[in-house]
Structure formats: structure tokens, C-alpha cells
Amino acid sequence: MAYRRAVNLLPRGKESVFSFMCCFQTSPNIINQTNRIYSHIGRTARTIYTSTPLMVARLLSVEELFARRSFQEYLKKMEAEYSQCLREVNSSTIEEQCSQDTLRSKRMKVSLLTPLIQAIQELDTKVKEITETEKLLKDEDPALRELAELEREGCLQEIHDLRQKILDLLIPEEEADLSDLVLEVTAGIGGQEAMLFTAEVFDMYQSFAQLHGWSFDILEHMTSELGGLRHASASISGPQSYKRMKYEAGVHRVQRVPKTEKQGRMHTSTMTVAVLPQPTEISFTINPKDLRIDTKRASGAGGQHVNTTDSAVRIVHLPTGVVAECQQERSQLKNREKAMKALRAKLYSMKLEDETSKRYNQRKVQIGSKARSEKIRTYNYAQDRITDHRIGKTVHDVKSFLLGEDLLDEMNSLLEEFSNQETLMELLGENNQEHS
């Protein structure tokens, strides 16, 4: 996986990102998605946000992408970069002239590029093989032609697999993709109806975590009078949990007749989702001197224990003013551990925002203004549809979607595929810009 970082070591260029994308069309829905690429610790960080309308192109096939001349030129430049670094690393003259840091950097570049270059070379070999095989298809011997056809089919499959492998190697791995996460949901516009929908979405993500075998540990859970949620947060841990959940961040809109509506009128409400990568102890540390830890009695249901024990914990990070609370457990120690986990996620997210972009704030971008018009996804009960406005994708069966199972999983897979193509196009576009 680490070799995907190699792409960040390569020269970059000019042609517009959209020069590689064909068949542009305006979605029937307003598309509010932009995919930003930021350099961060040798990796590329991507954030889908909803501030700028974007014309959506269809996803290109592997074959269409490799047929582009600019894409082929990009691969040739990488091969040239690899060859130059390899010569310098193996040259005793260069070794004497370069500092140890420079030489170490070149060796690392060679190491990171090697898997990609090997895949490109294997692909070139297979392309030559299929050219020779296709000559045999014109042979007069029927048996030889049949054998050549079988060989050709095998080569075509291997070529497709190698091309897909190359594309996968070109997509930079995000540091946060390997993280667990803290999920936050907050009711937006719509009063009690927004809170009821927030509770349904929170349950959907709990089921989604269960589907993937992730742990789902509730940190905060502020309920409303009718059983909805004002705000809730949870720690989610498991393989690829952040990678699969990050596309859920943003404003979700629901259009339906609320339970509280007596005249049967359709209402529009919103709620927001924030997905914060959870750092490890190694990647992020907090100075205990920067913390103020307060304890208080928990509020809400809980019987006699709530009124007699100071188990609720509130932690304030003094330099930033960031606050995290937890009162879910009866044990003050367990509440403190959960509050620290939430605090670490919030501070780590702020750290990533600062390092990846001075212009865009990741968490504000995810949450937005909570307005009805600012949304990433709409759940329309009357039409029984769910529309993701970033990619113009609509599926039906709201009830099944909110179960947090196959339909949500398929939507996330499509968002990831679209994001990967946009990332690749950005990389190719940047490459062209610097070398025009």
C-alpha cells in the first residue's frame, strides 16, 4: 500500500483536469460536489464538499482511460523519472557528489516507484504478446486459429487486470484511511422532525457498522422529548471504517410528512453528519497540562445513580477551547476514557485541516450551515427515493436504505469509485500544468 505514495514524488503538470473526461452532462439534480486534492505528509487528502456546483461526467472505463494519449505520456514520464533516479542511485560519481539525505530520498523514490514500473513493464509485455497472437488468427490452419483465439482471450483478461492494478497504484493512499473514526450527528432545521430523522440516521450507521463487523461505541446521546436525537456521537473501530464512512459527512435532507403533522403536509428537514478520523497514540499526543477535566452528575434517565454520583466527565483542551463530554457509563473512569477519545479525534481533525489546507476547513465543510438547500443527499419518502447530489445517483426504497445494509454499502462504493477517478484526473491535470 505504501508505494501509492510514489505518485506524490513525481513531477506534475498542466492540462485541465477535465481534459481526460468525456460525455459531460448536467445532472437532472443540482450537483453540489467538488473533490479537492491537498498535499499532506507525502500523501494526498481528499474532501468532498458542497459549496460549488459541478458538472458531473460519467465514470470512464479502464480501457477508455488508457486510450488517452495524455495518460500514456504521464506513464512514460514516470518511467523516465524512475530510470533517472535508478541511474543516480547506482552511479558512484553521483553518490560522491550527493549528500546522504539526497541519496536517501532518491533510494526511497526508487523503492516506492518499483511496483508501479514493474506493472507498466508487464503490461507492455502482454500488449506485445497479444499483437503476435492476433497475427495467428489469420493463419489458414483452423486448429491454430482456435488456439490463438483462446490465447488472445487470456491475454485480454491479463491486460485488463494489469491496467486496473496500475490505476490502483496511481491513487494515493490517505493517511486517515487507515484510522478509526468518531461519528457525530446533529439535528438541523426542522425541529422535532429533524431530531427524529437524526435518530434514524444514527441507527442506520450503527447497523452499517454491524454489517461490516466494526465496533460502535456511543460517546454522547442527547435525546429529544419525542424520542429523536438533538446530538449524538460514537466511536467506530474496524478495518477500513474511516475509508468507508468518510463520504457520509455533510448535510442530509429528508422530505416527508412528519408524525407531528396533523394536516398531512410535506416537510423538509435536515441533519448533519461529521466523520472525524481517530488518531492513534503514536500519531497524535496531547499534553496533560493542556487539559481541564471537570466532573458532574449525569442528566437524564438512569435512576438513583444519576442523582448521587459525579460520573459525567467534561474535558476542555485549554489552548484551543475544544470540549468533549461523556456521561454514557456509570464509571467516571470509563466516561473519561470515552471523552478523551472524542477530544483526540476533534483535535486531530483540526490538525489535519491546518496541515492540508489554509483555505478550506474540513469539519465546517462537512457540516456547512445546516440549511435545507445545502445537502449531499435527499431522502424523499413520497417518491421512495434517495438521491446523492454529489454524483447524481438515485436509488429507491428508503426503508431498506435506512437499514444501513446493501443499498448504503453500494452507494458508498460508487462514491469511492467516483472520488478515485476525480483524484486521478486531478493528478494527471497537475502533471500537465507544470510541463506545458
Distance CA 210, CA 220 (A): 19
Asked whether residue 157 falls in the same domain as residue 218, the answer is no
Burial of 340 (0-12, 13-18, 19+ CB in 10 A): middle
- Helix (H/G/I), strand (E/B), else coil: 152: helix
| DSSP 8-state assignment for residue 321 | T
Provide the domain count of the chain: 2
Residue 354 lies in a domain: yes
Distance CA 123, CA 131 (A): 12
Q: Which three cell numbers stand for residue 334?
A: 470509563
Asked whether residue 252 falls in the same domain as residue 311, the answer is yes
Residue 262 lies in a domain: yes
Give the predicted TM-score (pTM) of the model.
0.66
Distance CA 143, CA 112 (A): 45
Asked whether residue 255 falls in the same domain as residue 361, the answer is yes
**What pLDDT score was predicted for residue 21?**
36
Return the closest-CA partner of residue 2 out of 109, 117, 123: 109
CATH number of the domain encompassing residue 198: 3.30.70.1660
Residue 275 lies in a domain: yes
Residue 228 lies in a domain: yes
Domain span at residue 368 reads: 176-404
Residue 52 lies in a domain: no
Asked whether residue 267 falls in the same domain as residue 127, the answer is no
**What pLDDT score was predicted for residue 73?**
86
Asked whether residue 153 falls in the same domain as residue 237, the answer is no
Per run of 10 residues, the mean pLDDT along the chain (length 436 residues) is 40 34 36 30 39 52 86 90 87 65 82 92 92 84 86 92 92 80 93 95 97 94 91 93 92 90 87 86 74 79 50 88 86 87 84 55 46 80 94 94 96 89 76 42
Asked whether residue 144 falls in the same domain as residue 255, the answer is no
Distance CA 201, CA 393 (A): 19
Asked whether residue 136 falls in the same domain as residue 200, the answer is no
Asked whether residue 232 falls in the same domain as residue 306, the answer is yes
Residue 276 lies in a domain: yes
**Residues 148/195, Cβ–Cβ less than 8 Å:** no
Distance CA 192, CA 196 (A): 6
> String of b and e for 268-302 (b: at least 16 CB within 10 Å)?
bbbbbbbbbbbbeeebeebeeeeeeeeeeebeeee
Distance CA 355, CA 283 (A): 14
Residue 396: phi and psi, rounded to 5, are: -115, 165
Asked whether residue 156 falls in the same domain as residue 123, the answer is yes
Residues 6+ apart with CB under 8 A from 331: 311
**Residues 187/225, Cβ–Cβ less than 8 Å:** no
SS3 content of the chain, % helix, strand, coil (to 5): 50, 20, 30
Residue 9 lies in a domain: yes
Asked whether residue 207 falls in the same domain as residue 319, the answer is yes
**Residues 398/383, Cβ–Cβ less than 8 Å:** no
Asked whether residue 384 falls in the same domain as residue 306, the answer is yes
Asked whether residue 87 falls in the same domain as residue 129, the answer is yes
**What pLDDT score was predicted for residue 56?**
45
Residue 411 lies in a domain: no
**What pLDDT score was predicted for residue 354?**
66
